[in-house]
Amino acid sequence: MARAPLTLTSKPPLLLPTVTPLRQQIRRPTTVRCSAATVTTTTSMPDCHPSLEISGGGVDRFLPAFKTLHLPYKPYPIFGWNRHVETIFAAFYRKFPEVRYRRECLRTKDDGAIALDWVCGDRSLPADSPTLILLPGLTGGSQDSYVKYMLVKARSKGWRVVVFNSRGCGDSPVTTPQLQSAKFPDDMCHVVDHVSSRYPKANIYAVGWSLGGNILVNYLGTEASKCPLSGAVSLCNPFNLVIADENLRKGFNNIYDRALREALCRIFTKNALLFEDMENEFNVQVGLKPTTVREYDEAITRVALGFKSVDEYYSNSCSCHILQHVRVPLLCIQAANDPIAPIEGTPREDIKGNPNCMLIVTPQGGHLGWIAGDDAPFGAPWTDNVVMDFLDHLQKDATKPQPSNSAISEAVQQT
């Protein structure tokens, strides 16, 4: 059986939190809601519904891409009204589309391993078909429902799709004492270079959720003008890991900290032998039985990355600090009531000041929930159509990449 997204415990809680009135759930954003006056000064620009907050330096450029933003965001009754109910319901009860993968393992420069899951049946696609790289959240992988729904949507439009399973995630092999982290751009660089060389005639795009979104934005900002991607989307990105860490240990949010801690512990336990030879550096015993995600990161993650403390790791891994350097089209989608990626961490001002970025904030959505739209409550999240509108728009206007001779040679060898 496939594992549930968010890597929550195998059995749902016996009691769900009480559904509170809508006005008590939503933390009102400090910026104004979307309107024709605030979004653009061009009269021909399509309008968007006031239930959505839309901003960013790229609004004028990207808003015409979207076919449904003029409609109100309508959360599914009961399940979509409370952020905890929505998050838990999506994790346990959202259906899983049938998807078949073929796995490819890459060897990294540090002798590590990365698992790429390609969607079966894409060999018949044209060589210049747009290619989409998907980055799941913390401990997530190609088995998660939100990942599968996105790739099904993209495949239906003729896109080639591959899931990037971070080290140790998605049952990928682990060969070095290095597991998934919020900031390890070398792996993302390796994956993008590999996919680009395999399909040199195709435009490459990426979508990341939660921690995968943070990894993606960190990569985009680090590469800046050198980034070979033609566009990207970030969803439920925590952006500011310091704020996210504090928020994760408050009140009912402890249930998510516990679920993520247990998922991290399961992955680490399978690979603990790789860390035992370095016990003076890693605190293996704490890594096997951490009490919080923060405690695990202090014992294992920050050591693997060379940081002196977990606070240094968090502060240096925030994608909010590097978003200003993004030079490719980037759509960020956040939920105002997200319990894991709090909206307070979203760098609104940097997004507004970057002509390549656009932000959409929905009033509800929880974390990786977005139980709204025609497919609610058991089907695809509301965001899938929005994401594909954006990517299709970019692909329509994109120029074809000019592959180098070495890229063409490598692609010929792999066919």
- Catalogue the active-site residues: 210, 338, 367
Helices 241-248, 254-270: inter-axial angle, 10-degree rounding:
110
